[in-house]
Amino acid sequence: MNPVSAGAGERETIPYCDNCDDPAVYFDPRLQRHLCEVHLSQDVERRVIDRLARHGMIHDGDRIAIGLSGGKDSSVLLSILSRVIRERWDAELIAITVDEGIAGYREETIQSAVSLTKRLGISHHIVSFQSLFGTTLDFLLTAHPLRACTACGILRKKALSDAARDISADSIATGHNLSDAAQSVLMNYLRGDFERLLRDSSRREDRGFIRRIKPLLDVHEKEITLYSMVNGITGMLPECPYATTAFRAEVRTLQAGIEYHYPGASLRIIEGQESLSKQAKKTVRPGTVGYCASCGDPCSGHVCQACGLLQNLNK
């Protein structure tokens, strides 16, 4: 395998790892180092363990629900967490897959999730939009002029929270990575959505939400792809047919280009957002939190986003 970098494409071919005599598969442009399969894997795992420890994300006795789509991010997360937890904590990991009902895409990723959980011996629950909301995402989008990823994201978040609550989970782990997080910050800027940009998600738990943890937040998307390949975690999987229409797809290209030309830019985008959010916390009073009149979930309006969306469709 030729070395690849965290930027948008191959930059140079340097054959050996900086830590050993094995061929390099990855060039890290920020730290200017080359890593072989083994040292890349160790480095990714170390960053996950550091983040878990630094933010006190896991405690003995925890029941952790992991959102497992079957794609590479959540599959890599499950694979690393299952080992790390066994070695360090007395905690339980339960995988939850949400089937949105996307023909030609979800079937294969669900299969991949099923075989991974079997291989790792992790208990696995599958919930569907059809059984929870009485419709598939495909049907919803043919019948209503909705933005696919917005509707999908709102309903999937609710499906995952409800499933995690059903199994009395203490936290929900998701596979969001460094590239995703930088893209989300850029998207909020570009939409002018400063409420969301400045939101302090660390306090959600005090407000009745199940704690959400993102252990891959120090790892680039490209590093996760490579980790998955060299450790044989997922094979080639189809892409969601709605992904190309998403705003995120354009922002991803933008973010990858910036990271390629200015290594470390994604990290700085996130650090900038965190310090803005801290400043805002000193001056802006947090909004009041109540409970959804329809489902009882914590939310800031009269009904939560998911119930609001479903009610609008039935009007």
Binding ligand SF4 by CB under 6 A: which of 27, 129, 227, 242? 242
The residue (of 94 and 292) whose beta carbon lies closer to Zn ion is 292
Q: Cα–Cα distance between 261 and 264 in angstroms, integer?
A: 9
What is the SS3 assignment for 133? helix
What is the SS3 assignment for 19? coil
The residue (of 229 and 237) whose beta carbon lies closer to ligand SF4 is 237
The residue (of 35 and 304) whose beta carbon lies closer to Zn ion is 304
- In sequence order, what are the beta bridge partners of 298? 291
- At 66, the amino acid letter reads I
Least distance in angstroms from the C-beta of 312 to Zn ion = 13
Nearest Cα to 307, choosing from 291, 288, 294?
294
Taken in order 21, 24, 29, 30, the sign of the CA dihedral is negative
On whether the CB atoms of residues 215 and 81 are closer than 8 A, the answer is: yes
Nearest Cα to 247, choosing from 171, 193, 284?
193
Position of tokens 């509707």?
Answer: 151
Task: Identify how many contiguous H helices and E strands the chain contains and give both numbers.
Answer: 12, 10
The residue (of 58 and 116) whose beta carbon lies closer to ligand SF4 is 116
The residue (of 5 and 228) whose beta carbon lies closer to ligand SF4 is 228
Binding Zn ion by CB under 5 A: which of 6, 140, 246, 292? 292
Binding Zn ion by CB under 5 A: which of 294, 298, 300, 313? 294
Binding ligand SF4 by CB under 6 A: which of 167, 190, 243, 293? 243
- In sequence order, what are the beta bridge partners of 33? 28
Q: Cα–Cα distance between 179 and 254 in angstroms, integer?
A: 11
Binding Zn ion by CB under 5 A: which of 44, 246, 307, 310? 307
The residue (of 110 and 299) whose beta carbon lies closer to Zn ion is 299
Name which of residues 212 to 241 contact ligand SF4 (CB under 6 A): 240
Least distance in angstroms from the C-beta of 311 to Zn ion = 9
Q: Is 152 in the site for ligand SF4 (CB under 6 A)?
A: yes
Q: Is 304 in the site for Zn ion (CB under 5 A)?
A: yes
The residue (of 8 and 295) whose beta carbon lies closer to Zn ion is 295
Given Zn ion, ligand SF4, none, residue 80, with its beta carbon under 5 to 8 Å by kind, binds none
Q: Cα–Cα distance between 313 and 134 in angstroms, integer?
A: 12
Given Zn ion, ligand SF4, none, residue 240, with its beta carbon under 5 to 8 Å by kind, binds ligand SF4
The vertex-150 CA angle with 148 and 151, nearest 5°, equals: 70
Q: Is 187 in the site for ligand SF4 (CB under 6 A)?
A: no
Contact residues toward ligand SF4 (CB under 6 A) are 100, 148-149, 152-153, 240, 242-243, 246
Contact residues toward Zn ion (CB under 5 A) are 292, 294-295, 297, 304, 307
